[in-house]
Each structure stands twice: as C-alpha cells, then as structure tokens.
Amino acid sequence: QIRLVESGGGLAQVGGSLSLNCEVFGRTFNRYRNTVGWFRQAPGKEREFVAAITWERGTTYYADSVKGRFTISRDNAKLTVDLQMNNLNSEDAAIYFCATGRNVISTMIDSKYEYWGQGTQVTVSS
C-alpha cells in the first residue's frame, strides 16, 4: 500500500509562484518502476494531467499548458516530489493531486496511476 500526502497549496496572484510538495509513504513504492504525476481538477472540469516524473531516471513530462512555467522534481532521499509553479494564471486554479503508479507508460492518463493523494487547493487571484 502506498500513501501520498500533498502540501503547499494556497493563494497566489496572477504572475506569482507556488510550490507543491508530495510525500510518498509505503514500502511497496518501487524506485525503479514507479512514476509520480501531478494532476489537477478545476470546478466543472475533468481532471487533467499536469506533470510527471519517472523515479529511476528522473525523466519528466509536462502538459503543453504548463511547459516553461512548471517544474517537477524528486528527492530520492526524502521520497518527495515537488511541483514548482511559476507565472501562474487564472487557468491554473484547481485542486492538485499527486499520484503514483508502477510501470506507467502513458504518463498523461490518470487511470494508469494506482494511488492518489487527497489533493491540495491552488487559488489564483487577479
């Protein structure tokens, strides 16, 4: 069993920055096979992919809407994943979820991830 705990959400202004953190708990987390991803869901919209990182090699993937603004990174010692979000806009406002799955090939598809955190709210004000 794997548990994910997100933190770092809050309020930012348009053009501002926030950093989200996802802490991974659980002995079955596989550093060679697991991928950790961030997804978000705004009110009235479907959940969408934001970014992902493979744990072993640190290969990163981003949605087109966040490329150049968001950066995903991992800390192998702490077993945490950060999502640094810069130049925020109103469309970035959502609940952000951290998720992980083993042998994830299609990193942008949420059904490929087995475990999910509870989510953290990001609000962007103009």
pLDDT (tens digit per residue) in 13-68: 999 999 999 999 998 898 888 999 999 999 999 999 999 999 999 999 999 999 99
Distance CA 24, CA 110 (A): 18
Residue type, 67: K
Quote the tokens at residue 18. Answer: 């926030």
Model confidence at 11: pLDDT above 90 = yes
Give, in order, the Cα–Cα distances in Å from 32 to each of 53, 60, 62, 110.
12, 15, 20, 20
Q: Are 1 and 112 contacting, i.e. CB atoms less than 8 angstroms apart?
A: no
Task: Tokens 């010692």: give the residue.
Answer: 77
Confidence of residue 106 (pLDDT cuts 50, 70, 90): confident
HSE-CB at 10 with a 13 A cutoff on CA atoms is 11
Question: So what's the pLDDT on residue 81?
Answer: 98
